Amino acid sequence: MWNADGDLTEGPIGRTLIALALPLVVQNLVQVVQQVVDTFWVGRIGEDAVAAVGLNYPVTAMLTSAAIMAPFIGTQVIVSQRVGAEDRAGARRIAVHGLSFGVALALLVASVAVVGADRIVSLLGADPTVAPLAATYLATWALGVPAMAASDVLEGGFVGWGDSRAALYVNVTAVLVNVGLDPVLIFGWGPVDAMGIRGAALATVVGYASGLLLALAMALGLRDSFTLSRAAVSFDLGEYRELVTVGAPAAGRRIAQDSVRIVVVGLVATVGGAAGLAAYTVGARIASVSFIPASGLSQAAQSVIGQNLGAELPDRARRTTWVGVAIAAGALSVVGAVQWLVPTALTRLFVPDISPAALSLTVDYLRILAYGYWAIGATYVLRAGFNGARRTRTSMVASLLQYWGVRLPLAVGGVVLLDAGVHAVFWAVTLSNVAVAVGLAAYYRYSTADGMLDRAVSQAVADD
């Protein structure tokens, strides 16, 4: 259970992980509900609108990674280690640096996206009927990036401290606002004119801004765990360097994988047309629901591992990783089985009027994805094992190999050499997921035997 001290260094590992992860799992579910609701209402506009959002999915993911991942991961990992070492003043100080770092990056990224939306969409080779919708969505969505960044960094501080419920409250607030505004802004109501796809993006922007206001209120005293005060405000280049050292590889990892997703979306649009792109979009959104348990466990494990390394308990940190892997792989295997059994019903839930061609491709994609779900669960937690030990570069290299070394070559090779069409892309996704899980598990076992966690303890103690 959570307490104000945020101590994650005692008690049964499985229970500690689940207690910290449950609010994060619910938080991630709430975020997916936001995506589901957006897709549901956008689907009422038409298939071209769904394709436009799908075209933007990897773009928005990459822009988010560029603006948010480095300060978010850096803040969470360093806060957790400093809390484990009982340096709470230092934990608060690094969070303030993460906040200013994140907002500065987000403003830069948002400016590029707003100004260059048309150009970015055109580079993806969108259909003429889809491109204007995609550009409108991207330019509007980008206005919310600074709020997303600031909110996520504060959430990283709370989770690193051991208070995952605060992050849940922030996300519930953001999504409730988003869900409530979606139909109003998309279709119009009362004095509000219908905005179409721009309204869907604007609802997301307002939702994130609302979540940020709550996060700030809690960090400034509404919550009795992770709090910020005037004493924590400083601008130390050494603290920024530490954030970049820990967080930049995490951002690089996400950018590497999201950049490949952009190429893959372009490949899907080329060989699969609107039907293939709609299938890929719906499949990605449904699959995102399946990642919820693993994502929550990953964030929880990262904090538990970080605190235990700060408290000089490397063996408990190692066991946390393997317990988390077992839980995540098992949970996603069950989810994958359900998805394999009812893909048609899931697809029609998202897009009731989907064309027969798109429905057939979506069903195939969902079943192919389901075969590799166990691997996705294992990979999430194995990355947390490395990240908690400040080995974020290892996670980055693993993603480079997964996406650039396995997924993209398999997808292109299957399309060009085997003439397998869009199905080659679908199988490339699953096979690359399995490959990275097996490789990371083997390397984690080797690294821990080679003293990785003992070295991480020494570094955490030296930084205290």
In whole angstroms, how far apart are CA 385 and each of 55, 183, 232, 395, 406?
A: 32, 41, 29, 9, 23
Query: What pLDDT sits at residue 260?
Result: 83
Using the predicted structure, report yes or no on whether residue 218 has a pLDDT greater than 90. Answer: yes
pLDDT of residue 2: 43
If one compares 65 and 438, the residue with the highest pLDDT of the two is 438
Q: Which of 25-34, 363-372, 420-429, 450-459 has the lowest mean pLDDT?
A: 25-34
pLDDT > 70 in the chain, percent: 97
Mean pLDDT of 208-215: 94
**What is residue 3's predicted lDDT score, i.e. its pLDDT?**
44
CA distance 170 to 74: 20
Read out DSSP for 309-341?
A: HHTT-HHHHHHHHHHHHHHHHHHHHHHHHHHHH
Burial of 156 (0-12, 13-18, 19+ CB in 10 A): buried
Provide the mean pLDDT of the chain.
87
Give the model confidence (pLDDT) of 132-180 as tens digits.
Answer: 888 889 999 999 999 999 999 999 999 889 888 998 999 899 989 998 9
Mean pLDDT across the stretch 234-251? 89
* Confidence (pLDDT) at 1: 40
Q: Give mean pLDDT, residues 191-218.
A: 91
The mean pLDDT value for 348-374 works out to: 87
Q: Is the pLDDT of residue 7 over 80?
A: no
* 8-66 residue pLDDT tens: 778 888 888 888 888 888 887 777 777 777 777 887 787 778 778 877 777 888 788 88
Is the pLDDT reported for residue 5 higher than 60?
A: no
Residue with tokens 């389901």: 370
- The Cα 337–Cα 376 span in angstroms is 14
Contacts of 405 (CB under 8 A, 6+ apart): none
401: confidence class by pLDDT, cuts 50, 70, 90: very high
What is the predicted pLDDT for the residue at 25? 85
pLDDT value of position 406 = 94
For residue 250, the model assigns a pLDDT of: 83
Query: What's the whole-number mean pLDDT along residues 173-189?
Result: 90
Residue 429 neighbours by CB distance under 10 Å? 23
pLDDT in tens, 295-314: 888 989 998 998 999 889 99
Whether the per-residue pLDDT at 239 is higher than 60: the answer is yes
Give me the pLDDT at residue 460, please: 73
